[in-house]
């Protein structure tokens, strides 16, 4: 049997999730196919979580055109979808005359991109705003409109709302074959399941070029850009209140210091183009590089404050033309004809294959631009012939099904804690001591479909603290087993091949 849809979105990261929610506004049958066991487990899981002000990207790129409109959407999105968001601002700091010239360049670019309230501030005000910065700083470019979110909470919120409005989200379905036959796209997955759709949206992240090649589109290649990041102990506190950038390089915005919306500070990432799309290894050199750069910005940061490290792979798009094709592309630029896209930019919209829409090469500031990218994809589908009829029953509101104890404790709202415990005794059982995560929160996450350790971690923060799940792993395994019936030895960290318990546990005397 073949499941048939109007639109199938391949990929359930932030971009696929935003597109799914956008399309759920219409009378359409929509499915999302995600190869991982849970949503946001690809590129999105290691996103830095910054909602950028918008002064980095050139104005003539899609990045430059979409970042500020995307930024403006987040206040309303936060209200509708109930995810944490803080407009804390961002600073690009300068230490020399050359870097001050760089700030002026980005100030001018930001103005062209319509970044609001952008200004260059002097040393005295800068150190008042951020007293832990290196006292050798001279000045900074300040964008107060920037902010931070939790990328996977945002992704979960988008997906949950899309599902509320009728979208079918299917995880653990890796697309291995895609072809167009008599105007219909036919999909076969690794599990030998079959799907068909009138339209395909390619939001496959690192693998978007491989999906595109299945239908004969070969004009771009995705190059994984490896970034190592480090999370600092919560006890270090918020060394900075705002996102801190150095002056950037051609490849990267540099090593950042990021006060996450959840509390701890994150530093990084590096930027290294590699070939392997599944290389998530961290290195000693990466650690040294990140902290050397971070200490230039905030001298009190120490590598011993790091409690964990991780790698994100950004899907950087590059043209895959022959030398002759590249020559004609250069000629086009001289004659004023716009090339198909600029290397490193987003690849969004219609293609040479009718009904196949790309949302590829989405790296920074893709998180910020995601709501606008979703609207562009909707417009591309309309232009390609899809009928978009508004669904008056569309409900934009999604509420979190459980309150996080940590956020209530941070606000010192102890009466609210008492109320929660009276309403649900599971709030009195602390499962993760480092992050104050209760049984109530973990059970709620399991009921929402998160049945791996990483899924629980992303949904609740259990296991992200100083002991890195040393205390709570066995308790979470037990709760997943109790709620789902999955044998403990079959529960995984992040999907098949990452099982935690390698052999069945022996039963005790009580059976």
Cite the active site residues.
Answer: 52
Burial class (CB in 10 A: 0-12, 13-18, 19+), 117: exposed
Q: What are phi and psi of 422, to 5 degrees?
A: -65, -40
At residue 218, the 3 state secondary structure works out as coil
463 pairs with which residues across the strands? none
Task: Give the separation between CA 10 and CA 206, rounded to whole angstroms.
Answer: 12
Task: Give the separation between CA 51 and CA 54, rounded to whole angstroms.
Answer: 9
Question: In angstroms, how far apart are the furthest CA atoms of the chain?
Answer: 83
Picking from 380, 33, 77, 356, the residue whose alpha carbon sits closest to that of residue 188 is 33
Helix, strand, coil proportions of the chain in percent (round to 5)? 35, 25, 40
Chain position carrying tokens 């000693």: 284
Q: Tally Cβ neighbours within 10 Å of residue 29.
A: 16
- Find out whether 357 and 350 touch, Cβ atoms under 8 Å: yes
Task: Give the separation between CA 197 and CA 384, rounded to whole angstroms.
Answer: 14
483-509 b/e with 16+ CB inside 10 Å = b? eeebeeeebbbbbeeeebeeeeeeeee
Give the helix ranges, DSSP H, for 24-141. Answer: 62-72, 74-81, 97-112, 123-129
At residue 239, the 3 state secondary structure works out as coil
At residue 435, the 3 state secondary structure works out as coil
């Amino acid at each position: 049997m073949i499941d048939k849809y109007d639109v199938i979105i391949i990929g359930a990261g932030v971009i696929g999730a935003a597109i799914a929610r956008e399309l759920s506004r219409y009378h359409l049958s929509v499915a999302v196919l995600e190869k991982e066991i849970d949503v946001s487990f690809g590129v999105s899981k290691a996103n830095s979580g910054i909602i950028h002000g918008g002064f980095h990207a050139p104005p003539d790129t899609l990045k430059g055109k979409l970042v500020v409109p995307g930024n403006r959407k987040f206040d309303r999105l936060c209200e509708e979808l109930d995810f944490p968001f803080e407009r804390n601002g961002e600073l690009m700091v300068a230490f020399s005359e050359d870097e001050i010239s760089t700030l002026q360049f980005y100030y001018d670019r930001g103005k062209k991109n319509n970044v609001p309230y952008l200004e260059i501030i002097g040393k005295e005000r800068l150190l008042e705003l951020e007293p832990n910065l290196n006292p050798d700083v001279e000045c900074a470019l300040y964008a107060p409109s920037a902010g931070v979110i939790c990328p996977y909470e945002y992704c979960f919120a988008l997906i949950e709302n899309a599902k509320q409005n009728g979208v079918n989200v299917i995880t653990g379905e890796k697309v291995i074959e895609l072809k167009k036959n008599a105007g219909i796209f036919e999909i076969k997955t690794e599990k030998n399941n079959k799907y068909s759709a009138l339209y395909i949206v390619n939001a496959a992240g690192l693998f978007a070029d491989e999906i595109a090649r299945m239908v004969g589109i070969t004009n771009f290649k995705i190059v994984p850009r490896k970034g190592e990041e480090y999370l600092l102990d919560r006890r270090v506190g918020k060394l900075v209140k705002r996102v801190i950038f150095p002056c950037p390089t051609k490849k990267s915005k540099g090593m950042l210091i990021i006060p996450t919306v959840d509390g701890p500070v994150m530093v990084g990432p590096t930027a290294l183009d590699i070939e392997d799309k599944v290389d998530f290894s961290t290195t000693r050199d990466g650690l040294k590089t990140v902290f050397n750069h971070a200490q230039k910005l905030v001298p009190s940061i120490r590598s011993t404050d790091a409690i964990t490290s991780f790698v994100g792979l950004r899907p950087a798009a590059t043209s895959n033309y022959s030398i002759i094709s590249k020559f004609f592309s250069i000629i086009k630029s001289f004659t004023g004809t716009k090339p198909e896209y600029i290397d490193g930019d987003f690849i969004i919209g219609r293609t040479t294959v009718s009904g196949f829409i790309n949302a590829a090469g989405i790296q920074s500031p893709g998180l910020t631009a995601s709501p606008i990218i979703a609207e562009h994809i909707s417009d591309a589908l309309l232009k390609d012939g899809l009928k978009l009829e508004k669904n008056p029953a569309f409900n934009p509101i999604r509420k979190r099904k459980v309150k996080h104890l940590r956020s209530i404790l941070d606000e010192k709202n102890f009466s609210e804690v008492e109320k929660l415990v009276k309403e649900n005794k599971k709030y009195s059982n602390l499962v993760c001591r480092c992050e104050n995560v209760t049984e109530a929160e973990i059970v709620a996450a399991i009921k929402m479909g998160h049945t791996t350790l990483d899924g629980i971690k992303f949904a609740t923060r259990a296991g992200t603290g100083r002991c890195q799940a040393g205390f709570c792993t066995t308790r979470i395994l037990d709760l997943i087993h109790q709620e789902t019936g999955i044998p403990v030895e079959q529960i995984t960290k992040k999907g098949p091949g990452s099982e935690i318990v390698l052999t069945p546990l022996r039963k005790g005397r009580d059976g």
